[in-house]
Structure 1
Amino acid sequence: MNDHFASLFHGKRLLKQELHLDEPTFQYLINQNLLTEIPGIHQHQCQRCFNQGRKYFGKLPSGHIYCRKCINMGRVSECEPLYQWNGPAPVYEQVQNPCVWGGDLTPLQEHASNELVNQIKLNGSLLIHAVCGAGKTEMLYEGISYAASHSMKLCIATPRADVVRELAPRLRKDFPNVKSAALYGGSSEVDEQAQLVIATTHQLLRYDCAFDVMIVDEVDAFPYHKDPALPKAVKRAVKEKHTLIYLTATPRTNLKLKSKLNLIPTVSIPMRFHGHPLPVPSFQYNKKIEKQILEGTLPNQIEKWINDRGNRRYLLFTPTVEMAKQLSTLLNHTPYVYAEHPDREDLVKQFRYNKFQALITTTILERGVTFPSIDVAVIQADHDVFDEAALVQIAGRAGRSANDPNGNVTFFAEVKTNAMVRSKHYSLVMNHKAKKWKEQEHALPHLL
């Protein structure tokens, strides 16, 4: 019986209602010291989400303090503690030949794959800096196989729920004998003895000393790089001896500095898996883009760009939900998605399966999703929400298919921003490095 509870609760911090136990069983586990209580709020800090900000605490009618910052995960308060498994850890089976994927890695992918396995053996760390479309997921396969065949628990964490929804089916298809769980807000799945967890970084707030291997994908993405609780959650979720892997096409300053100072081993991949160059964005300038669209007029240049697509499919990125809605109306109710859209998951799935030609989106689809044979336009690319990393990632949605490696990427803006210039420069530099690597073939480039 205890093995069953260990598989449910080990390595987690859970509220009583998340345990889903009847009262006699709960009391038995407490009395046997198999479950231990952690104060929900201790020394003015939430023991789940690390919150210490006074503005994020509220007061219950009883006078007890509760945390408002993570309340969407269930209320933690001075009178509502968390519970942690204190019994023996579950034992994971050694999965023999866990991967059934039959593809081949490119030399650059193979180099990253070998280094990943090496760092897992050493309980080390690694930064894989690879351009959009380099095939980062496939680079992980040998590492996942090594972990699964050595009874390790592994997590692939990403800031975006859409990425979890895209990754989980792929990994389950290629690792059919590895028990997995896909965790994100609204997911009905539970991590019960799962060796492979694919989760949003927010879900890691429920974990404590659980994982042997932690892979953080899209480490530069919002909200991970903006919310200091999420890197803390990653550190708390891993065991004392662990491997920590970062994946990104656009590392932030702190990782760049660590790499340059040789504080973290780094593998750099400047070329897409199919060997073709990254699409280079073009700029088109249009006055009063936001004003025209919100007042019900589609700017001429944007209308021409759309008409020029013919039967080709495309994504339109907007800086705000309001603009996405208005643009949808102007384009004969072209579907649009944003973070809180009730049909977001279904609409993305329909677009992936060619149910409609175009999709309007906010930055939620800037990364981690793959649609073959599409063009991309950014409307009001000079808006603050489109920083360099976002624009690089958005441009990376085009040309991802080996059968259709060229895609049009156009930024519509009133003025040229530094972010626009730097994102274009990024594509040109990476294409140059990829060309040099092809000519030399033995020199593994350092991109940072």
Structure 2
Amino acid sequence: MDKNLYGREISSAEWEGDPTILEVSQKCPAFNMENGKWRCQRCGNSEQLIKGPCDCGDDCFFCAACLNMGKLKKCTLLYSLPEINEFPQLTHAPLTWEGELSTEQKRASDAIATTWAERGERLIWAVAGSGKTEMIFQGISDCLQAKGRICIASPRIDVCLELAPRLEAAFSGIPLALLFGGMEDAYCYTQLTIATTHQLLRFKAAFDLLIIDEVDSFPFHNDKTLNFGAEKARKPNGALLYLTATPPREMQKRVKQAKLVATILPARYHRYPLPEVTCKWLGDWRKSIQKKNRRSLLMKYIHQLIQSERRFLLFMPHIGLMKELENWLHLLYPELSFTSVSAEDPKRVEKVKAMRQEQYRFLITTTILERGVTFRDIDVFVIGTEDRVFTESSLVQIAGRAGRHKDFPTGLVWYGHYGQTRAAKRAVRQIISMNNEARKGGLLHAKLSDV
């Protein structure tokens, strides 16, 4: 029996194995009629159904909501095999990580292990830089020893790429699959999987432990199809963990109403406060770029960062303006090594890796680097926080890029704007509030001068 179909639910067009396996697998229509509406069984969509010509007849249609995963038509069949956890029984603890957890990390780690043991549901609400990845190791280890199947899913490819080598190092004897759109390697049945949340649409009752990292991130947040896919991918009695520094307001409400258990960590693992934000008035910064005004406030602050001889990130709301600024800065500072990166950049992985290896003085980026990436010692300057792309959540996450390393726990964070927004004000307050909670709990070093 081909193991690659265990816990999967896919069409024949997606199957790359022995075709005779499909003949003995479970089969179901890609669409079912529910409450008077046709519903896609892969993504749960019942609205974006588009009619089109088909050999099966004139009444056929396909699902537009999950079209990027391959076309599903009314006449399509989905094939699956129940997950039977066909993994070897481990004779030793699979966790090879030898680091030590802080007291707060250990508290969260114990809560995660309990959630797995009880097959429960929990939110880990931990500030950026608190060391969330290390907190999940023990829960994963316990699940592996029980022959459970685990998936760590994130809406962002960059987060998955960051997590993969860390999980491989922490569980060096356990095969790991990394799944994302456009991956070159073929799918392989493994006990430990890292995947984008889109990839969960291809699973059915597969995972005993499902961990969704950056649950508030685009595109998972408010996307009913991705939430449907995540629920479908988890076993009915599987444990579910949400990880984030900035849970959505709806999730915060569920915590307050005691409908969702939460473990809250207001301090970073190195026990220094989150860098607090300074707001900078930029005036019409877009015009400054378009007119190439070297005396503008925007250029004053960028020049100040360059003169400081520190490495930094420049966050911008739109790709066009980002490229325009990059080209101008190359003319002004031809001796400096820097570049830009966005979701559309085919070299984004290589560029982020080069920034991590300190080959660039600074990186100009869109919000794709707002979370899930760590650089050793940087400052952060957000340009144009008045743009609606910069939500409260994204601004808090962006601020969390600074001061993450234990040897470099401080850094500048500037919100540059052409008019303050409610989102920016809330982000500033949230960071201050978390620092205050950490101080009240005695979780910070007594003096910042201890750095």
TM-score (norm 2): 0.91
Give ranges in structure 2 of 5+ residues lacking alignment.
Answer: 332-337, 446-451
Deviations 1:274-293 (A, max 9, x none): 11110111111122112322
Give the structure 1 partner of residue 12 of structure 2.
16
8 A Cα contact 1:60 1:66, kept in partner: no
Distance 1:53 1:60 in 2: 19
Distance 1:258 1:227 in 2: 18
Specify the code of the residue in structure 1 equivalent to 2:21.
Answer: L
After superposing the two structures, state which structure 1 stretch, 307-316 or 35-44, moved more. 35-44
Specify the code of the residue in structure 2 equivalent to 1:360.
Answer: I
After superposing the two structures, state which structure 1 stretch, 96-105 or 135-144, moved more. 96-105
Distance 2:349 2:22 in 1: 40
**Distance change (3 Å), C-alpha of 1:343 and 1:60:** farther
Distance 1:299 1:253 in 2: 41
SS at match of 2:442: helix
Specify the code of the residue in structure 2 equivalent to 1:325.
Answer: K
Give the structure 2 partner of residue 218 of structure 1.
214
Q: Structure 1 residue 134: deviation in Å?
A: 0.3
Matched, 1:36 2:26: yes
Deviations 1:253-283 (A, max 9, x none): 2211221122222111010111111011111
Give the structure 2 partner of residue 445 of structure 1.
none
8 A Cα contact 1:336 1:360, kept in partner: yes
**Distance change (3 Å), C-alpha of 1:353 and 1:235:** same
Matched, 1:202 2:194: no
SS at match of 1:431: helix
Deviations 1:63-96 (A, max 9, x none): 431222222222111233321125x724222332
Specify the code of the residue in structure 1 equivalent to 2:29.
Answer: P
What is the aligned residue count? 429
Matched, 1:425 2:429: yes
Give the structure 1 partner of residue 326 of structure 2.
328
8 A Cα contact 1:278 1:427, kept in partner: yes
8 A Cα contact 2:8 2:202, kept in partner: yes
Distance 1:440 1:350 in 2: 32
Q: Structure 1 residue 248: deviation in Å?
A: 1.0
Distance 2:96 2:294 in 1: 49
Matched, 1:261 2:254: no
Distance 2:167 2:53 in 1: 43
Give the structure 2 partner of residue 436 of structure 1.
440
Matched, 1:92 2:92: no
Give the structure 1 partner of residue 395 of structure 2.
391
Give the structure 1 partner of residue 98 of structure 2.
102
Q: Structure 1 residue 299: deviation in Å?
A: 6.4
Give the structure 1 partner of residue 298 of structure 2.
302
Specify the code of the residue in structure 2 equivalent to 1:380.
Answer: G
- Shift >4 Å, 4+ stretches: none
Give the structure 2 partner of residue 444 of structure 1.
none
Choose the corresponding residue for 1:279, options 270, 275, 278: 275
Matched, 1:186 2:182: yes
Q: Structure 1 residue 394: deviation in Å?
A: 0.3
Q: Structure 1 residue 240: deviation in Å?
A: 1.4
Distance 2:125 2:203 in 1: 27
Q: Structure 1 residue 152: deviation in Å?
A: 0.5
Give the structure 2 partner of residue 316 of structure 1.
314
Specify the code of the residue in structure 1 equivalent to 2:84.
Answer: A
SS at match of 1:331: helix
After superposing the two structures, state which structure 1 stretch, 297-306 or 203-212, moved more. 297-306
Matched, 1:406 2:410: yes
Matched, 1:337 2:341: yes
Specify the code of the residue in structure 2 equivalent to 1:157.
Answer: A
SS at match of 1:267: strand
- Mapping of residues 359-370 of structure 1, within 5 Å: 359-370=363-374
**Distance change (3 Å), C-alpha of 1:298 and 1:237:** farther
Matched, 1:57 2:61: no
Deviations 1:21-56 (A, max 9, x none): 3xxx52x3344xx313222233322221222224x5
8 A Cα contact 1:181 1:189, kept in partner: no
8 A Cα contact 2:62 2:73, kept in partner: yes
After superposing the two structures, state which structure 1 stretch, 408-417 or 94-103, moved more. 94-103
8 A Cα contact 1:38 1:82, kept in partner: yes
After superposing the two structures, state which structure 1 stretch, 361-370 or 190-199, moved more. 190-199
Give the structure 2 partner of residue 354 of structure 1.
358
Deviations 1:141-175 (A, max 9, x none): 11111111110001111110000000001110111
Specify the code of the residue in structure 1 equivalent to 2:349.
Answer: E
8 A Cα contact 1:58 1:67, kept in partner: no
SS at match of 1:128: strand
Give the structure 2 partner of residue 48 of structure 1.
42
Choose the corresponding residue for 2:383, options 379, 384, 396: 379
Give the structure 2 partner of residue 133 of structure 1.
129
Distance 2:264 2:115 in 1: 16
Q: Structure 1 residue 10: deviation in Å?
A: 1.0
Specify the code of the residue in structure 2 equivalent to 1:367.
Answer: R
8 A Cα contact 2:65 2:225, kept in partner: no
Give the structure 1 partner of residue 448 of structure 2.
none
Give the structure 1 partner of residue 449 of structure 2.
none
SS at match of 2:94: coil
**Distance change (3 Å), C-alpha of 1:298 and 1:186:** farther
Give the structure 1 partner of residue 287 of structure 2.
291
